[in-house]
């Protein structure tokens, strides 16, 4: 009984633990209780004035249906832990006095549950801890998905806006081309070429609007806002292009921070507890208390015992199975660790590539395109170039703006993947500028 009482069955890795862990990683918590009354918004967040990426993450952690369903699995852990702490009920048998038969009662108490209980409880606790760590990882994956979908929607909306400007520009170009055709300045074949290009841009606009509608629906689903009829208003923040990281420190940080790696470690320890539990099942012992109503000295009590002789069955099958499960847990840990290292390196390379592409656009291509439009405007004002040529330079500027939007979106996606791969660890160390130059040279 002392062994039994000494092993607590209180569940510490509960919803509050998951919430506290996600706060540590992202700065956002979960709703204090399960969401049962529809949409709930964190304090200080309103949909009317637009939402930032950070606010979208906070809303998703409170309302995402899949994540809320995952959190319910903590109830199974609580139930398994309670069951693991239970002792076997005593068995009471009675023979009623009938004819010459005296009344006889016997109580059987299965005692092996006393020394098996610590193994059961320890395994159940570790299982609950593993489930909680995996739920934390699910939350971090949700944060990543929200960030990427938010970025995709913002880019598609910007892409549609640029496509509208380009469509209007192409309509003006087609009108000029048609006038030149009527004046005999160009051939019909040249007009067809301009018309085909304008039609292609109109088709792109239709596709961009469609993609924006679909991405808006996808973001609403992630945020639990399916009932919202209006398009989500986004207020994207400026992108930082100056972050510089050290790859090996990122990998080390990921090993220390990733909840899924911690869950894989716990799975090994859990398998060890289950192996000990199966070995403890070899010995089965039952205590007996017997009562006879009319013995030689009147009513009689007598203790007894019943135990199973481990001659043929040493629980070899389940012990061997537990050993295999432990080996499997070890190998799965290696798989998870290798996967983390690969994801960090992949995200790191993608981030540096997107970072460098955006720097080139902003330092060279975009200023050059703006300068070209300004010079073309001055040349047109003095009659050195035609209005059609001026529109061509404006179209090049729109194309460069589109490339910039693509690069910003690529950098945001890479940032989300990188932050997720290292467990959203905030104190990422910077590397030396010389090392960054070497990396850019390789890229």
Interval 247-292: pLDDT, tens: 888 999 899 899 999 999 999 988 888 777 677 776 777 777 777 7
CA distances (Å), 62 to each of 56, 66, 142, in order? 10, 11, 11
pLDDT of residue 157: 93
Residue 125 counted as domain residue: yes
Residue 129 counted as domain residue: yes
Q: Which residue, among 256, 207, 286, has the nearest Cα to 425 in the 3D structure?
A: 256
| Alpha-carbon gap, residue 212 to 405, rounded angstroms | 15
What does the pLDDT average to over 29-44?
Answer: 75
172-186, 202-216, 235-249, 383-397: the lowest-pLDDT one: 172-186
Which residues, in sequence order, are CB contacts of 23 under 8 Å at separation 6+?
Answer: 29
Please say if the pLDDT value at position 442 is more than 50: no
DSSP-assigned letter for residue 209: H
| Alpha-carbon gap, residue 130 to 262, rounded angstroms | 8
Please say if the pLDDT value at position 152 is more than 90: yes
pLDDT of residue 228: 82
> Sign of dihedral through CA atoms 34, 37, 38, 40?
negative
The answer to whether 194 and 177 are in contact (CB under 8 A) is: yes
Q: pLDDT per residue over 99-118, tens digit each?
A: 666 788 888 888 777 777 88
Structural domains of the chain, count = 1
Residue 256 main-chain phi, psi, to 5 deg: -80, -25
166-175, 236-245, 259-268: the lowest-pLDDT one: 236-245
Of the chain, the end-to-end C-alpha distance in Å amounts to 66
For tokens 């570790």, name the residue: 126
pLDDT over 70 percentage in the chain: 86
Please say if the pLDDT value at position 309 is more than 90: no
Residue 261 counted as domain residue: yes
Q: What confidence tier does 380 reach under pLDDT thresholds 50, 70, 90? A: confident
CATH of the domain at 306: 1.20.1600.10
Token duo for residue 350: 């993608």
Residue 8 counted as domain residue: no
Token duo for residue 414: 């890479």
The answer to whether 31 and 87 are in contact (CB under 8 A) is: no
> Treating both helix axes as pointing N-terminal to C-terminal, what angle do 74-84 and 112-182 enclose, rounded to 10 degrees?
170
DSSP-assigned letter for residue 89: P
Give the number of other Cβ atoms within 10 Å of residue 361's Cβ: 20
Please say if the pLDDT value at position 142 is more than 60: yes
Q: Print the domain residue range for 391.
A: 70-442
Most confident of 51-60, 72-81, 233-242, 297-306: 51-60
What does the pLDDT average to over 390-419?
Answer: 90
pLDDT of residue 298: 64
pLDDT of residue 190: 67
pLDDT of residue 307: 72
Residue 40 counted as domain residue: no
pLDDT of residue 345: 93
Q: What confidence tier does 216 reach under pLDDT thresholds 50, 70, 90? A: very high
| Alpha-carbon gap, residue 124 to 164, rounded angstroms | 59
pLDDT of residue 331: 93
pLDDT over 90 percentage in the chain: 32
Residue 21 counted as domain residue: no
Q: Residue 61 half-sphere exposure, CB side, CA atoms within 13 Å?
A: 32
Mean pLDDT of the chain: 82
pLDDT of residue 296: 60
Residue 308 counted as domain residue: yes
Residue 159 counted as domain residue: yes
Give the number of other Cβ atoms within 10 Å of residue 319's Cβ: 18
pLDDT of residue 67: 94
Token duo for residue 105: 């009662």
Any bridge partners for residue 291, and if so which?
105, 301
76-90, 151-165, 351-365: the lowest-pLDDT one: 76-90
């Amino acid at each position: 009984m002392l062994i039994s009482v000494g092993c607590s069955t209180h569940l510490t890795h509960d919803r509050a633990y998951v919430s506290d862990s996600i706060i540590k990683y992202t700065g956002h918590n979960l709703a204090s209780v399960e969401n049962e009354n529809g949409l709930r918004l964190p304090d200080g967040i309103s949909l009317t004035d637009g939402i930032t990426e950070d606010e979208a993450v906070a809303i998703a952690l409170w309302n995402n249906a899949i994540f809320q369903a995952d959190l319910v699995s903590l109830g199974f852990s609580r139930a398994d832990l309670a069951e693991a702490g239970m002792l076997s009920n005593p068995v009471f048998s009675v023979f009623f006095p009938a004819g010459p038969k005296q009344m006889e009662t016997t109580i059987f108490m299965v005692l092996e549950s006393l020394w098996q209980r610590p193994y059961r409880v320890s395994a159940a606790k570790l299982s609950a801890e593993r489930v909680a760590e995996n739920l934390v990882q699910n939350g971090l994956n949700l944060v990543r998905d929200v960030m990427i979908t938010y970025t995709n929607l913002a880019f598609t909306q910007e892409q549609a806006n640029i496509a509208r400007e380009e469509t209007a520009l192409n309509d003006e170009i087609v009108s000029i081309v048609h006038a030149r055709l009527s004046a005999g300045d160009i051939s019909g074949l040249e007009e067809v070429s301009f018309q085909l290009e304008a039609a292609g841009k109109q088709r792109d606009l239709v596709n961009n609007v469609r993609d924006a509608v679909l991405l808006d629906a996808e973001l609403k689903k992630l945020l639990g806002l399916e009932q919202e009829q209006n398009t989500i208003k986004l207020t994207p923040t400026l992108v930082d292009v100056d972050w510089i990281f050290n790859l090996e420190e990122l990998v080390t940080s990921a090993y220390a921070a990733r909840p899924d790696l911690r869950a894989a470690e716990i799975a090994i320890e859990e398998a060890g507890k289950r192996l000990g539990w199966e070995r403890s099942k070899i010995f089965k012992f039952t205590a007996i208390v017997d009562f006879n109503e009319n013995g030689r000295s009147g009513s009689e009590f007598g203790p007894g015992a019943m135990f199973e002789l481990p001659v043929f069955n040493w629980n070899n099958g389940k012990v061997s199975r537990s050993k295999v499960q432990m080996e499997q847990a070890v190998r799965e840990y290696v798989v998870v660790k290798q996967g983390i290292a690969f994801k960090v390196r992949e995200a790191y390379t993608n981030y540096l590539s997107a970072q460098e592409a955006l720097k080139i656009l902003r330092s060279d291509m975009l200023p050059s395109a703006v300068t070209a439009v300004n010079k073309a405007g001055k040349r047109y004002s003095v009659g050195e170039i035609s209005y059609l040529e001026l529109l061509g330079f404006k179209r090049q500027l729109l194309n460069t703006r589109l490339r910039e939007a693509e690069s910003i979106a690529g950098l945001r996606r890479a940032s989300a993947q990188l932050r997720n791969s290292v467990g959203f660890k905030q104190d990422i160390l910077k590397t030396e500028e010389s090392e960054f130059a070497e990396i850019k040279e390789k890229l």
